[in-house]
Amino acid sequence: MDVTGAAPCFVVQIHQARRMHFDFRLEVGGVLKSWAVPRGPSENPRERRLAVPTEDHPLEYRTFEGVITKGEYGGGTVIVWDQGTYRPLSHDRWGAPVPFEQSLEDGHATFWLDGIKLHGEFALTRFKKGGGSDAPGGEIWLLIKAKDGRATHDGPETPDPYLARSARTGRTLAQVAAEEGGGLS
C-alpha cells in the first residue's frame, strides 16, 4: 500500500519495439517493477509465461501511451492494454503475511489483480537467478495464473497485440503510431 492507503497499481503495456512484447508492471516501493512478457499474460493456469525483469520505471509511466523515438531505450509504440490495482497475497509456509518487496526478493510473489481485463490471483516465480559468475544471462521469471474462479481453460490464451485496444483510450498500436507520427516496426 502507498502512504495514502490506496491499493498499489499495476499496468500491462503492449510495446512494439525491436520485438513485440507486453510490459507487466507492479507498483512496489514507489516505482513500477517491470517484466517483459513476450507472449503476454494469460488467464489460463496451464499457460506459464516467460517474464524477464527490466529496469524499474517511475510511477508516472503507468499511463504512458505513445511513440518512443527510434534509437532511444525502448524505441517503438506503446499502449496501455490493462490497468488497475493489486492486492499482495504472499505468505510464508506457516501462513504469515510476507511484505511484497521481500516476496519478490525471495523469488516468489503472489497477488490478486483487479484490472479491466485481468482478474484474480497470479504469481511471479523466479525460475532462474542471474547475475552470478556461474549463471550466464539474467534472471528469468514465470508469470502464472492461479486456478481460481477467474481462470479460463479455453478460448484465446494470448491477446493479439495488433488487434488489442488500449484500456485507456480505445486506440490500437497502429492508431497511436499514426496519430503520433511514428510507424510500427
Q: CA of 14: how far to CAs of 39, 54, 55, 131, 170, in Å? A: 10, 14, 16, 27, 13
| H helix or E strand, kind and range, residue 72 | none
Mean confidence (pLDDT) of the chain: 87
pLDDT above 50 for 113: yes
pTM for the model: 0.88
Of 142, 176, 184, whose CA–CA distance to 19 is shortest? 184
Q: Give tens-digit pLDDT for 7-26.
A: 999 999 999 988 999 999 99
**pLDDT tens-digit profile of 122-134?**
999 998 776 544 4
Span 68-94, pLDDT tens digits: 988 788 889 999 999 999 999 998 889
Alpha carbon distance 68, 185 (integer Å):
12
